[in-house]
Amino acid sequence: MLLKDMLLGEEDIILLGNNNTNVNVLGLSYDSRKIKNYYAFFAISGSSTDGKKYIDEAILKGACVIITDSDITVTINTNIIYIVVKDIIKFMSRLSAKFYKHPDKMLTVIGVTGTNGKTTITYMLESIFKYCGIKCGVIGTINYRYNNQAIQSINTTPQSLDIYRIMREMLDTGVSHLIMEVSSHALSIGRVHGISFSTAIFTNLTSDHLDFHKNLQNYFQAKSILFRDLFSTKMKKSFAIINVDDYYGKKLLKLKINAVVQSYSLLNNNITNWKITNIKLDRNYTSFNFLYHKVYIEQIGLYNVYNAVAALIAAICNGVSLMTSIKGLSTLKRIPGRLEQIYNKHLGYYIIIDYAHTIDALKNVLQTIRKISYHRLITVFGCGGNRDKTKRAIMGQLAVNFSDIVFVTSDNPRFEDPYQIISDIITGIKQINKKNYKIVLNRATAIRQAINIANKGDTILIAGKGHEKYQIIADKKLYFDDVKIVKDYIKIIKNNK
């Protein structure tokens, strides 16, 4: 695509070097390792590195356009076009949209945001769409998937350039609907800037990511961007689906949203048109009435009723019938690392793997298991390093209050001292004078010790990492899978008996 066409309508840009914008740009990248001849390189400043350090490398690999948000520190090459912009992230989104021919305008794009529940809702909605024959794709925490292929995700919401590329690939292979997890970080820095969402879902907002947002008000403002950017016309409606049992969901309702607002509540059927009644929670399933029709799902816990209702409303708003939506939802079996149950029939107890790594998520999981657990609850958990430290003490208190025994262990320490992370957790536990915990730094050892002490009828919760198949220690991403650790150790126990 000609650069001059990509720059149409763009303001506040400075051209340096070769200003001949008739050049035909063959590709875009913010990774210098992926640059080829006649590519445009976005020199983005990240948290760990500065893209401007790789400008010379990009030029050597064939870049014809360099885009940056500050003064060029390399020697200006008169054969290269340099573009200096004020906001490189949003600029990249706009150029990517043009380069990939606005695939979002031809897809039905559904965005899901909130502290907890995003991944589960994407799986639920995907199950409904697949059941009724709608070809859909998903961009989310676990992976990016469409047409029976899955690409491991790097971020919950990738860079805009990647989103547009993936959308174009989806569209070209027959996908009509895209379900996307939209993180507060992505909203804050502009990764989804300009993307045309047909539907936005708000799940909840609780304390998390305060290392980035600093306070809950900033966190809420970031989440609200998805809704403030919705746009409806007489020809095409957009929908805002909001959980009004959540304090911040109520705040969201007060904003000016240019969309058809669909609120939902499990606590008060008088404030919503979506009637949810007769909720029943069981060890192996959950049921409830939705608009007086019985719904059965294999995902357990009250919070999965919230997730299921959001998915049902989104499907109906996007043209799927009520009964088809209910049937499609019931076909969903497994969501990786989300209350994933491993029943050890040989030994007589359950092991549950869950991604719960926030205060609210851990509390919900512990409360859910407490209601269905026959005997003791044994919990294994830790907190991630270089993330919000304020939640550690509270999560420690929750774990010991709801559990009979807690193994405090390592999660993803990153560049923090794992002993210090555990110390922060233990500080909260000591404040309430609880002693039903044990510190085991090595996560695999903690899991094995929890299994060793379990008796028939007990439940073991292994929280924090869920679907992850790695452990981040300093700058290394080492293979680690909670599920595999559990299954391998159970085999050893069986063989020794």
Contact 137, 131 (CB under 8 A): no
pLDDT at 276: 96
pLDDT reading at 497 higher than 80: no
Structural tokens at position 38: 């006649």
**Class of the domain covering 340-496:** alpha beta
Task: Tell me the per-residue pLDDT of 365-392, one tens digit each, with 9 for 90 and over.
Answer: 999 999 887 799 999 999 999 988 999 9
Collapsing DSSP states into helix, strand and coil, what is residue 310?
A: helix
Burial class of residue 395 in the structure, from the number of CB atoms within 10 Å of its CB (0-12 exposed, 13-18 middle, 19+ buried): buried
Residue 101 in this model has a pLDDT that exceeds 90: yes
* Architecture in CATH of 3-91: 3-Layer(aba) Sandwich (3.40)
Q: What are the domain boundaries of the chain?
A: 3-91, 103-330, 340-496
How confident is the model over 107-123, as a mean pLDDT? 96
Three-state DSSP state, 488: helix
Helical spans, DSSP H, in 277-336: 302-317, 322-330
List Cα–Cα distances, 439 to 175, 311, 398, 471, in angstroms: 48, 39, 16, 18
Average of per-residue pLDDT across 455-466: 95
pLDDT tens digit string along 249-293?
999 999 999 999 999 999 999 999 899 999 999 888 999 999 999
pLDDT in tens, 172-181: 999 999 999 9
pLDDT tens for each residue of 464-479: 999 999 999 999 999 9
Band of residue 393 on the pLDDT scale cut at 50, 70, 90: very high
Task: Tell me the average pLDDT across 183-207.
Answer: 92
Among 75-79, 321-325, 364-368, name the one with the lowest average pLDDT: 75-79
Burial class (CB in 10 A: 0-12, 13-18, 19+), 426: middle
Say how far apart CA 115 and CA 216 lie, in whole Å. 11
d(CA 368, CA 350) in angstroms, rounded, equals: 14
- Mean pLDDT across 145-157: 88
Tell whether the model's pLDDT for residue 213 goes beyond 60.
Answer: no
pLDDT of residue 490: 92
Domain 103-330 has CATH 3.40.1190.10: yes
Alpha carbon distance 177, 163 (integer Å)? 14
Does the pLDDT of residue 345 top 90, yes or no? no
Tell me if 171 sits within 8 A of 195, measured CB to CB. Answer: no
What number is the average pLDDT over the span 401-412?
97
User: Is pTM, for the whole model, over 0.85?
Assistant: yes
Q: First-to-last CA distance in the chain?
A: 67
The neighbour count for residue 270, using CB atoms within 10 Å, is 7
Which residues in 313-345 are b (16+ Cβ under 10 Å) and which e?
bbbbbbebeeeebbebbbebeebbbbbbebebe
Q: Which of 175, 266, 255 is nearest to 221 (CA)?
A: 255
Mean pLDDT of the residues in the chain: 93
